[in-house]
Chain A
């Protein structure tokens, strides 16, 4: 893909991304290294995040923007929460009715875009697609072209429909492509800052990463979640880009490199002791900044003493932890679990492809028999797998734990804390300690019965999967 392309191809077509696998890490490694990637299809699925939700989650946190969700009122429902929580974009719905599915929703779109800009003074208006307008083949681009003369700000179509990809993260790619192509400005010369790219992170993690860079004397320009339009416009003037999660934001960084000559410095996610060090050292190396390398060295020395308090006590005490996160983060969390005295019991990731699998190379070599499941949501599969793997903790940055009902597995949520940087190591260690003590006290917390049948929970978790017929 290139920044010159009008739209982004789905991850399945671009990267042969798969959204189902259930087996061992070694088996997955072999499969993704082979000639043909096998797409598997679930014959039973549970509702999950589509690319529309990912796109809205990202756009909803960008300040000075208006989002027009072009579809039925329910397509914008997530905005009820993001609107209150993120204090970012202004949300509009074209509120399409049955008649509009027959006659088209052009007039509603025109009205919504015009009023969105007029009422909010947004510096960019994003029109987000839905299945209704995709099936109806509404020509959104032509309408936006017509409106160009009437609106003094970029008005951009986010071409998602929710049925062309099973990897919801594709919605972030579509947004990244639109931002890089239509919002970022060319700069005559580079300035002294780096882009810090975030696609799905929570605010605490973005702020912690920015703080980490500030501590070692690097000026960071947040791009993506929790940025403003001015920050995104300025991204073309950066010396380089780093990404908080390269599975998610790597595509944006590549476009900035291709379109604006902003070097993409590939790093691990700044999580855990080694992850944080890798992040900073790679950045300094990429920038060829010796003074920065020196400052980072001093920073490590200062932090090492503090960190011993957390790593020395080995809070996890040999306990087995199942990780549920992206591949990039799984790599650094796996190391962090070991640093805290634990053992990785298994991994669940929402998607994987031959390129990003490389991040699990070391783990695949060390633990080829490690259970791994690729599933966007699908808690019925996770309910089955945790019964087989029997971890002590289930660490997840996905926020859903109800499928642990009926088991003794302890959910380890990351809500309310940031695990970024060295402070993140301390925060996770403290969370583990407080969680164990809290549950020990909370005798009434108890357990809920599972919603799943025993017959399913005892079956192979691959039971409802078939090979895709080409």
Chain B
């Protein structure tokens, strides 16, 4: 198996952690690295033409270490950077990111971060975000595991017994930056869970993101919607006894929404009247729109051999819905975030039951060759695969990062409304 990658489609752990942090309001990330580690990722995100986060691109604090610090160590450079960052930025939480360079030099980022904490600032260190330690998605995982260890409040023993205690769930596994739909997906899930009578720690796209991070250990349950949320959820369960429900992908369509709500009810005991009304409303809503397209599915004959390319959670979400409601044959599922892990045992995703063939690669060349050799009739992938769709003359829809041919602000394929969007987009390209 080749180790090098043609046409990279994601960054490193540092960049994934940065993607995560800049989307949490009032977080001030500080990169301890040479110049350019964050900017390089910001350039990548220009593909989407949508601004990311509050402090982004060249506005992110970075020590920009120079030759002298590489030779003699950059600890004191980080110390002065942190001290001054507190005087320049408005913000509540400072997070220090380690890099390849500082890890190889052996700078003490933990000690420097602790110095800041000792002075009364909220500060977290991410010592494992060196680019050579993992891909972008691992950066998300590291942010949440670090927050749980270093920042989160201890659960309040009294609150559990209070009758008026409002049940709260954490949402993990929806990744900013590398999931083009994360805003809309979080909105969809938050609305759904609020309607079921639950409070939600969504962390992103909310003014109280830092408070939600602090309260992550006080939630009643965690919902996980991709494998990248599994480790922090397990940590919450192991250390704080917070149960979690693991889904390898977001729910798409009424049936999956109902399953989610039912399992949540079994776990937390929801208000039955409210729950049943919500499930009925979701069913009715989906049925109404699906009826509108049902005849077209036959008359225009949309049953095609499809390839889906993207991270596992996207391939599953899109693939399983298209199979069940559009009659698509998922001929090739190409997963771009497959990583061999021996540190954790994450449950099987079920992808192998969904697709005729499952491929695990992020190499753009291999992906193109796989598509070319599989007799694919419809391609749902990233914009990097558009040229091969053009070459084959087959319908194409960009569904995974990077997406360059459309602007995605609140669009999502999650929930019932997301399923309807999926139907619209898919039928439009195949008919």
The finding on whether chains A and B are genuine partners in a shared complex, rather than unrelated, reads yes
Q: Is the CB of A377 within 8 A of B63?
A: no
Q: Give the residues in chain A near B383, CB-CB below 8 Å.
A: 84
Q: Is the CB of A71 within 8 A of B80?
A: no
Q: Is the CB of A48 within 8 A of B66?
A: no
Q: Is the CB of A80 within 8 A of B81?
A: no
Q: Is the CB of B31 within 8 A of A47?
A: yes
Q: Is the CB of A53 within 8 A of B39?
A: yes
The verdict on B131 contacting chain A, using a C-beta distance below 8 Å, is: yes
Q: Is the CB of A78 within 8 A of B40?
A: yes
Q: Is the CB of B2 within 8 A of A111?
A: yes
- Closest residue of A by beta carbon distance from B3: A108
Q: A53-B40, A73-B10 are in contact. Are A92 and B5 (CB under 8 A)?
A: yes
Distance A47 CA – B46 CA, assembled complex (angstroms): 17
Q: Which of A72, A79, A111 contacts B131 (CB 8 A)?
A: A72
Q: Is the CB of A45 within 8 A of B11?
A: no
Q: Give the residues in chain B near A92, CB-CB below 8 Å.
A: 4-7
Name the interface residues of A438-457: CB closer than 8 Å to any CB of B.
Answer: 450-453, 455-456
B88 nearest CB across to chain A (Å): 5
The verdict on A131 contacting chain B, using a C-beta distance below 8 Å, is: yes
The verdict on A221 contacting chain B, using a C-beta distance below 8 Å, is: no
Q: Give the residues in chain B near A380, CB-CB below 8 Å.
A: 59, 88
- Closest residue of B by beta carbon distance from A53: B36
The verdict on A226 contacting chain B, using a C-beta distance below 8 Å, is: no
Q: Give the residues in chain B near A376, CB-CB below 8 Å.
A: 35
Q: Is the CB of B66 within 8 A of A163?
A: yes
Q: Is the CB of B11 within 8 A of A377?
A: no
Q: Is the CB of A50 within 8 A of B4?
A: no
Q: A71-B100, A162-B34 are in contact. Are A47 and B2 (CB under 8 A)?
A: no
Q: Give the residues in chain B near A95, CB-CB below 8 Å.
A: 3-5, 8
Q: Is the CB of A47 within 8 A of B35?
A: yes
B302 nearest CB across to chain A (Å): 29
The verdict on B309 contacting chain A, using a C-beta distance below 8 Å, is: no
Counting chain B residues whose Cβ lies within 8 A of the other chain, the interface size class is 35 or more
Distance A136 CA – B101 CA, assembled complex (angstroms): 10
- Closest residue of A by beta carbon distance from B38: A47
Distance A107 CA – B3 CA, assembled complex (angstroms): 9
Distance A379 CA – B61 CA, assembled complex (angstroms): 10
A78 nearest CB across to chain B (Å): 4
Q: A78-B40, A81-B46, A451-B55 are in contact. Are A119 and B35 (CB under 8 A)?
A: no
Q: Is the CB of A162 within 8 A of B46?
A: no
- Closest residue of B by beta carbon distance from A44: B84
Distance A46 CA – B51 CA, assembled complex (angstroms): 18
Distance A276 CA – B67 CA, assembled complex (angstroms): 41
- Closest residue of A by beta carbon distance from B74: A163
Name the interface residues of B12-60: CB closer than 8 Å to any CB of A.
Answer: 12-15, 31, 34-41, 43-47, 51, 54-60
A170 nearest CB across to chain B (Å): 12
Q: Is the CB of B35 within 8 A of A115?
A: no
Distance A403 CA – B69 CA, assembled complex (angstroms): 29
Distance A464 CA – B61 CA, assembled complex (angstroms): 13
Q: Give the residues in chain A near B35, CB-CB below 8 Å.
A: 45, 47-50, 162, 166, 168, 376
The verdict on A83 contacting chain B, using a C-beta distance below 8 Å, is: yes
Q: Is the CB of A455 within 8 A of B87?
A: yes
- Closest residue of B by beta carbon distance from A403: B59
- Closest residue of A by beta carbon distance from B104: A135
Distance A82 CA – B85 CA, assembled complex (angstroms): 31
Q: Is the CB of B8 within 8 A of A47?
A: no
Q: Is the CB of A47 within 8 A of B44?
A: no
Q: Is the CB of A44 within 8 A of B43?
A: no
Q: Give the residues in chain A near B365, CB-CB below 8 Å.
A: 119
A67 nearest CB across to chain B (Å): 11
Q: Is the CB of A135 within 8 A of B36?
A: no
The verdict on A21 contacting chain B, using a C-beta distance below 8 Å, is: no
Q: Give the residues in chain A near B43, CB-CB below 8 Å.
A: 53, 77-78, 80-82
B 71-99 to A, binary, CB cutoff 8 A, 1 in contact else 0: 00000000011001101111100000000
The verdict on A100 contacting chain B, using a C-beta distance below 8 Å, is: yes
The verdict on B235 contacting chain A, using a C-beta distance below 8 Å, is: no
Q: Which of B3, B57, B63, B66 contacts A94 (CB 8 A)?
A: B3
The verdict on B186 contacting chain A, using a C-beta distance below 8 Å, is: no
B210 nearest CB across to chain A (Å): 15
Distance A162 CA – B13 CA, assembled complex (angstroms): 19
The verdict on B105 contacting chain A, using a C-beta distance below 8 Å, is: yes
A461 nearest CB across to chain B (Å): 11
- Closest residue of A by beta carbon distance from B82: A44
Q: Give the residues in chain B near A402, CB-CB below 8 Å.
A: 51, 56-57, 59
Q: Which of A77, A111, A451 has the most CB atoms of chain B within a 10 A radius of its CB? A: A77
The verdict on B65 contacting chain A, using a C-beta distance below 8 Å, is: yes
Distance A98 CA – B131 CA, assembled complex (angstroms): 9
The verdict on A345 contacting chain B, using a C-beta distance below 8 Å, is: no
Q: Give the residues in chain A near B36, CB-CB below 8 Å.
A: 47-50, 52-53, 162, 168
- Closest residue of A by beta carbon distance from B53: A451
Q: Is the CB of A132 within 8 A of B11?
A: no
Q: A53-B36, A90-B6, A112-B4 are in contact. Are A456 and B87 (CB under 8 A)?
A: yes
The verdict on A273 contacting chain B, using a C-beta distance below 8 Å, is: no
- Closest residue of B by beta carbon distance from A70: B4
Q: Give the residues in chain B near A85, CB-CB below 8 Å.
A: 47, 404
The verdict on A93 contacting chain B, using a C-beta distance below 8 Å, is: yes
The verdict on B9 contacting chain A, using a C-beta distance below 8 Å, is: yes
The verdict on B154 contacting chain A, using a C-beta distance below 8 Å, is: no
Q: Is the CB of A451 within 8 A of B100?
A: no
Name the interface residues of A192-218: CB closer than 8 Å to any CB of B.
Answer: none
Q: Give the residues in chain B near A372, CB-CB below 8 Å.
A: none
Q: Is the CB of B41 within 8 A of A74?
A: yes
Q: A98-B132, A451-B54 are in contact. Are A84 and B384 (CB under 8 A)?
A: yes
Q: Which of B11, B54, B88, B101 has the most CB atoms of chain A within a 10 A radius of its CB? A: B88
Q: Give the residues in chain A near B132, CB-CB below 8 Å.
A: 72, 96-98, 100-101, 132
The verdict on B62 contacting chain A, using a C-beta distance below 8 Å, is: yes
Q: Which of A136, A163, A166, A168 has the most CB atoms of chain B within a 10 A radius of its CB? A: A163
Q: Is the CB of B44 within 8 A of A71?
A: no
The verdict on B64 contacting chain A, using a C-beta distance below 8 Å, is: yes
The verdict on A191 contacting chain B, using a C-beta distance below 8 Å, is: no
A447 nearest CB across to chain B (Å): 15
The verdict on A327 contacting chain B, using a C-beta distance below 8 Å, is: no
Q: Is the CB of B11 within 8 A of A74?
A: yes
Q: Give the residues in chain A near B15, CB-CB below 8 Å.
A: 74, 77
Q: A73-B131, A132-B104 are in contact. Are A79 and B8 (CB under 8 A)?
A: yes
The verdict on A190 contacting chain B, using a C-beta distance below 8 Å, is: no
Q: Give the residues in chain B near A50, CB-CB below 8 Å.
A: 34-36, 39, 64
Q: Give the residues in chain A near B251, CB-CB below 8 Å.
A: none
Q: Is the CB of A45 within 8 A of B63?
A: yes
Q: Give the residues in chain B near A100, CB-CB below 8 Å.
A: 132
Name the interface residues of A27-72: CB closer than 8 Å to any CB of B.
Answer: 43-50, 52-53, 68, 71-72
A 161-191 to B, binary, CB cutoff 8 A, 1 in contact else 0: 1111010100000000000000000000000
Distance A135 CA – B136 CA, assembled complex (angstroms): 23
- Closest residue of A by beta carbon distance from B369: A119
The verdict on B133 contacting chain A, using a C-beta distance below 8 Å, is: yes
- Closest residue of A by beta carbon distance from B86: A453
- Closest residue of B by beta carbon distance from A74: B12
A380 nearest CB across to chain B (Å): 5
Q: Give the residues in chain A near B84, CB-CB below 8 Å.
A: 43-44, 464
Can you show 12 pairs from A to B with CB atoms below 8 A apart?
A47-B57, A74-B40, A78-B44, A80-B402, A81-B43, A93-B5, A101-B132, A162-B34, A168-B35, A402-B56, A453-B87, A456-B87
- Chain B interface (Cβ within 8 Å of chain A)? 2-15, 31, 34-41, 43-47, 51, 54-67, 69-70, 80-81, 84-85, 87-91, 100-101, 104-105, 130-133, 135-136, 365, 383-384, 402, 404
Q: A95-B4, A95-B8 are in contact. List 16 more A-B contacts (CB 8 A).
A: A45-B81, A47-B31, A47-B60, A74-B40, A75-B131, A77-B40, A78-B39, A83-B7, A94-B3, A96-B132, A108-B3, A115-B4, A162-B36, A163-B65, A451-B89, A464-B88
